[in-house]
Structure 1
Amino acid sequence: MQELPSIEPSLRVPALVKDSNPSGTMFGGWLMGQVDIAGSIPALVRAKGPVVTVSMHEMNFYAPLFPGDLVSLYAKVIASGKTSIRVHIDCWVQRYAGNMECFKAAQAVIVYVAIDKRGMKRDLPEAD
């Protein structure tokens, strides 16, 4: 059986029935939203201020999610430029259906841009 990564997740959220589709699985858009939130956290820390999503370079789904699944999202900055930050996000699922299953269900790469108070892009501060 696989195990969750040993690092702290950026976000952990239960999949709820209200976000499922008529076939009983979770809407892909629901998971994309959770992935975007999780990715924005390390981007915000790196930018030392607000960021906005610019593009989702990659979003791969490996397995369907169901209501009741516990979704853990692990995000890390993989590159940064003058104003932009590229973040890789892994989505892991714990499913308690009889016996506990744990597996990687999706992954994504998202680009964020640091913005100022007016919503205009701004240069990133020096990395720590």
Structure 2
Amino acid sequence: MSHSPSTNKAAPIKSLPLDMELVLKVIPMPADCNANGDIFGGWVMAQCDLAGSVIPARHAKGRMATVAVNEFIFKQPVRLGDILSFYSKLVRIGRTSVTVTVEVFAERFHTQGEYIKVTQATFTYVAIDMQGRPRPIEQQG
């Protein structure tokens, strides 16, 4: 994750998504940093996978697995001390799968109350049985 702070500066936003659900808040720690002092992209991806699984778990009602990362965009670096807010929204429910989008906003340590969108991703999860085979999701009506 290499970003040039001077050429890739995002304007802060004052409000967070109203059409999405806050599913996770986390603060990265020093062990999550790369050699440049930014947070590892892989760490951010893992947190997004956790956040992305919250809504599908309500529909799968049992074991499920991540089957696809349909999109993953790092928009801005995540820095040590950032307060990260992960918002998610249902995109699609299929016969055995659930697709969601996740957007991550950073509240910088020194500018709390202002948010910068740092990452967006889309994940697909599939409901699985005890043998790891896809199983139908009960459609809620």
Query: Which residue of the partner structure matches residue 55 of structure 2?
Result: 42
Taking structure 1 as the reference length, what is the TM-score of the superposition? 0.92
Displacement after TM superposition at 1:5 (Å):
3.0
Query: Which residue of the partner structure matches residue 81 of structure 2?
Result: 68
Taking structure 2 as the reference length, what is the TM-score of the superposition? 0.84
Query: Which residue of the partner structure matches residue 24 of structure 2?
Result: 11
Aligned residues: 127
The answer to whether residue 96 in structure 2 is matched with residue 83 in structure 1 is yes
| Structure 2 residue runs without a partner (length 5+) | 1-11
Contact persistence 2:21–2:89 (CA under 8 A): no
Q: Which moved more, 1:60-69 or 1:46-55?
A: 46-55
Identity of aligned residues (%): 37
Structure number with higher strand proportion: 1
| Structure 1 residue runs without a partner (length 5+) | none
Matched residues in 2 for 1:111 and 1:10: separation? 16
Matched residues in 1 for 2:47 and 2:116: separation? 17
**Helix, strand or coil: the match of 1:38?**
helix
Matched residues in 2 for 1:94 and 1:22: separation? 22
Matched residues in 2 for 1:108 and 1:37: separation? 12
- Superposition CA RMSD, Å: 1.4
